[in-house]
């Protein structure tokens, strides 16, 4: 076995040992705690979290926020979403990591369409 291959296998093993939980959560479907809601996992000091709050307010979106530094429930949910940085948005069942206005607006658009569809189907009953 070559030295490069040995190095690669050892490095991969170390990485997996260190990051197995995050990888498990990353590839598993989002938890059920975001049913039909918008949830923001953030900190008080993060400038991108502030930008995310502003964007959500501009779009008129009602959301639930967890400060991952002070809320045990929020921190647990954040870890289950394989959070590595902030902000993390859970929009219904779609996870948006970091502040990327284009991705956030697209996810909100999908969510708003699904909400409108649910309201329409209830009205037709």
17/40 same-domain check: no
C-alpha of 113 from chain center:
19
17/54 same-domain check: no
48: domain CATH number is: 3.40.30.10
81/61 same-domain check: yes
- Asked if residue 114 has pLDDT above 60, the reply is yes
Total domain count for the chain?
Answer: 2
The residue with tokens 């309201």 is 119
What domain range includes position 51?
31-123
Half-sphere exposure of 84 (CA within 13 A, CB side): 9
- The predicted model gives 24-41 an average pLDDT of 71
72/103 same-domain check: yes
80/24 same-domain check: no
36/61 same-domain check: yes
> What pLDDT, on the 0 to 100 scale, is given for residue 21?
58
45/17 same-domain check: no
Lowest mean pLDDT among 56-60, 76-80, 82-86, 114-118: 114-118
45/75 same-domain check: yes
36/96 same-domain check: yes
CB 25 within 8 A of CB 80: yes
57/97 same-domain check: yes
61/45 same-domain check: yes
Q: Which two tokens stand for residue 88?
A: 């993390």
């Amino acid at each position: 076995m070559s030295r490069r291959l040995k190095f690669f296998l050892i490095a991969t093993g170390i990485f997996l040992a260190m990051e197995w939980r995050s990888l498990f959560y990353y590839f598993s479907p989002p938890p059920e705690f975001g049913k039909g809601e918008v949830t923001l996992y953030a900190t008080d000091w993060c400038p991108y979290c502030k930008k995310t709050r502003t964007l959500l307010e501009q779009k008129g979106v009602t959301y639930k926020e967890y400060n991952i530094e002070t809320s045990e429930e929020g921190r647990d949910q954040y870890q289950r979403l394989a959070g590595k940085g902030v902000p993390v948005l859970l929009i219904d069942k779609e996870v948006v990591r970091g502040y990327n206005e284009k991705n956030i607006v697209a996810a909100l658009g999908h969510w708003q369409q699904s909400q409108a569809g649910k309201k329409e189907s209830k009205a037709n009953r």
